[in-house]
Amino acid sequence: MVKHISVDSTVLLDPQTAPAEIDRCLTSMMQQSRPVYIGVPVDMSHLQCNASALKIAIPRALSPNDPQLEQEVVSKLRKMMKQSKNPIIIVDGFAVRNNLQDQCQELSKLTGFPTFNTYMGKGGIDETIPNFGGLYTGAGTYEGVKKAVESADAVFWIGNVQVRVMTYALGYLLTITDRFQHRRVHRSGG
């Protein structure tokens, strides 16, 4: 099963190569924001390995975006913003988890779009701003908020976390034409 969800994996069979294998997997994990599998056989767990690799930091910076793909995405977003009559922003849990609060706040302020959050997105947007619309939880949402979100023709959903516990029994009822979901994250610091 692990191969279907992991971006990288290794089984540590040699104490000489173990540090490099661990670093390779952890680098893949950091770069792709996906799980990895590192298997440690019982007969390997007590063996020592060279610790000199610990002096080299694991790269944390994301590789640059493909410029052509980035331009395509930016063009599509601009087109959506211009053509939509009722756009909104939803700030969800991964925006908070990946420390994108300032960027979400700036996007909301610059566009003036009605901005909502989810349970996991609480804290992702200043709820005192004039264009804050409320907490969207799917089927269990306050009726005015539910109507505002579900009548949108373009949703900019930042940090999307669609899981049952967050959606009141999978009650996301969005049937919009376009939805842009931010998935790639940039993390700085610890």
The answer to whether residue 134 is domain-embedded is yes
pLDDT of residue 58: 86
CATH (domain of 159): 3.40.50.1220
45 and 100 together in one domain: no
Q: Which of 157, 155, 116 is nearest to 134 (CA)?
A: 116
Helices (H), 14-167: 18-32, 67-83, 93-97, 101-111, 143-150
Tell whether 18 is covered by a domain: yes
Distance CA 21, CA 38 (A): 9
Number of domain units in the chain: 2
User: Is residue 130 domain-resident?
Assistant: yes
Quote the pLDDT of residue 85. 93
Q: Domain range holding 101?
A: 67-182
What residue ranges of the chain have pLDDT lower than 70?
Answer: 1, 162-190
Asked if residue 60 belongs to a domain, the reply is: no
* 3-state SS, residue 137: coil
What local confidence, expressed as pLDDT, does residue 67 receive?
87
Please tell me the predicted confidence (pLDDT) of residue 1.
67
User: Which are the contacts of 97, defined by CB distance < 8 A and separation ≥ 6?
Assistant: 159
pLDDT given for residue 31 in this prediction = 83
Q: Is 99 helix (H, G, I), strand (E, B) or coil?
A: coil
Q: Are 97 and 123 in contact (CB under 8 A)?
A: no
pLDDT for position 173: 45
Q: How far apart are CA 131 and CA 47, in angstroms?
A: 59
In the prediction, which pLDDT does 159 show?
86
Note the pLDDT of residue 42. 94
The pLDDT of residue 138 is 78
Residue 4's pLDDT is 81
Q: How far is CA 56 from the centre of its chain?
A: 27
| Of 33, 55, 77, the domain-final residue | 55
Q: Which residue has the tokens 């799980």?
A: 35
- The predicted model scores a pTM of 0.67
pLDDT at 97: 84
Please count the CA atoms within 13 angstroms of the CA of 20 that sit on its side-chain side.
5
Residues 140 and 96 in one domain: yes
Domain boundary among 13, 29, 55: 55
Residue 34 lies in a domain: yes
At 172 the three-state DSSP class reads coil
